[in-house]
Amino acid sequence: MPTANANPIRESCDLCSDFQTIRSYEMLVLVQYFPPITGFWSSTFRSGEIASTSTSLSAHRSPRNIRRSSHSYVMAKVGSRSEDDYHATLKALKSRGRTPRKSLGQHYMLNSSINEQLVSAANVTDGEVVLEIGPGTGSLTSVLLNAGATVIAIEKDPHMAAHVRERFPVDHFMVLQEDFTKCHIHFHMQSLLEHGKLSKMNSKNAKVVSNIPFNISTDVVKQLLPMGGIFSEVVLLLQDETALRLVNASLRTSEYRPINIFVNFYSEPEYKFKVIRSNFFPQPNVDAAVVKFKLKQAADYPPVHSTKSFFSMVNSAFNGKRKMLRRSLQHICTPLAIEKALESVGLPATSRPEELTLEDFVRLHNLIVKV
């Protein structure tokens, strides 16, 4: 993947009816212009965008203190067309009588280079167990299996579950036809890891690598991050706006919410790279991004009496976001006791929830909540 120091493009663009290409010293690829596909819920898939190799994430609207890697955009190098490009994806969907469904937040990845970057971000090695949520046509699954991973896929759509099951008839691949948001993933993974029901397993901990439906992002994060005893890392392709909101925990902003406390309680999040929207079919209205969550073990969680009571207190605090904590938490103890607790941890008695760090909430909880 090119970096900000890549050689400049030496020659001008040549336009033709079907393709836009750029000749350069490195030979970079533009995305093919595809004809309209009737019947799909989004607008016609348009010609691809290419981000400048000099583009910096500092130019993005995101805050400066966000944790991220050095690369901002993913670009594909010249090579033979992937078997999971636009035409192959459309063929696979048509073979099952399927179209992307807005209600399921389905956007299929067309760029294998991005799938490879996604797998690389998770440092997947031979024999590792990887959970994939929503494999779809199997484009990411293919890259994971080629990396030597044992893949457990969860697919809600029975037609696509049958498709990937037929496409990958290998003993280190398993498909569970279930709705991830409703299934008992902890039980499934614990059973598979403890009893070694899949071949090539050489690890007691698994990883999650997924291009998940955008509309279940928060549900997936809430279900996976507390599972540090099962998963070591969770690498997800999310909406860029969601990725920025989850990773950035800036105080005193409208984006600072209970989910920021939750994410940092259970993990160490890192924004890896941005993915422009033209890499998906159908093309969404927003760009995407890859986020890596390094999960904490239970022994490394902040010391609270009870995680249940802790997050109950945090949620109560943010329910009245502009209210002072002495008012929004008065169902726990008296306003005077809350003021004294705030002052004892070095905070003003008039503090509001958006002004407290994770550590502040932990200390406040341990002072005012009696278990």
Which residue, 292, 247, 300, is CA-closest to 123? 292
Task: For residue 179, say whether it is annotated as part of any ligand binding site.
Answer: yes
Is residue 136 within 8 Å of residue 161, measured between CB atoms? Answer: no
Burial class (CB within 10 angstroms; exposed 0-12, middle 13-18, buried 19+) of 12: exposed
d(CA 315, CA 122): 31
For the chain, give percent helix, strand, coil, nearest 5.
35, 15, 50
Task: For residue 14, say whether it is annotated as part of any ligand binding site.
Answer: no
CB atoms within 10 A of CB 103: 8
d(CA 160, CA 39): 19
Backbone phi and psi for residue 330, each to the nearest 5 degrees, phi listed first? -70, -10
Is residue 131 within 8 Å of residue 208, measured between CB atoms? Answer: yes
Residue 365, amino acid = H
Backbone phi and psi for residue 271, each to the nearest 5 degrees, phi listed first? -80, 120
Task: For residue 195, say whether it is annotated as part of any ligand binding site.
Answer: no
d(CA 26, CA 363): 54
The H-assigned helical ranges of the chain are: 86-95, 112-121, 139-146, 158-167, 185-195, 217-224, 240-247, 258-266, 307-319, 325-328, 335-344, 358-368
Residues 6+ apart with CB under 8 A from 294: 232, 233, 267, 268, 269, 270
CB atoms within 10 A of CB 200: 15
Task: For residue 134, say whether it is annotated as part of any ligand binding site.
Answer: yes
Task: For residue 109, say whether it is annotated as part of any ligand binding site.
Answer: yes
d(CA 17, CA 7): 28
Using DSSP, state whether 118 is helix, strand or coil.
helix
Task: For residue 136, say whether it is annotated as part of any ligand binding site.
Answer: no
Detail the residues annotated as belonging to a binding site: 107, 109, 134, 155, 179, 211
Detail the residues annotated as belonging to a binding site for S-adenosyl-L-methionine: 107, 109, 134, 155, 179, 211
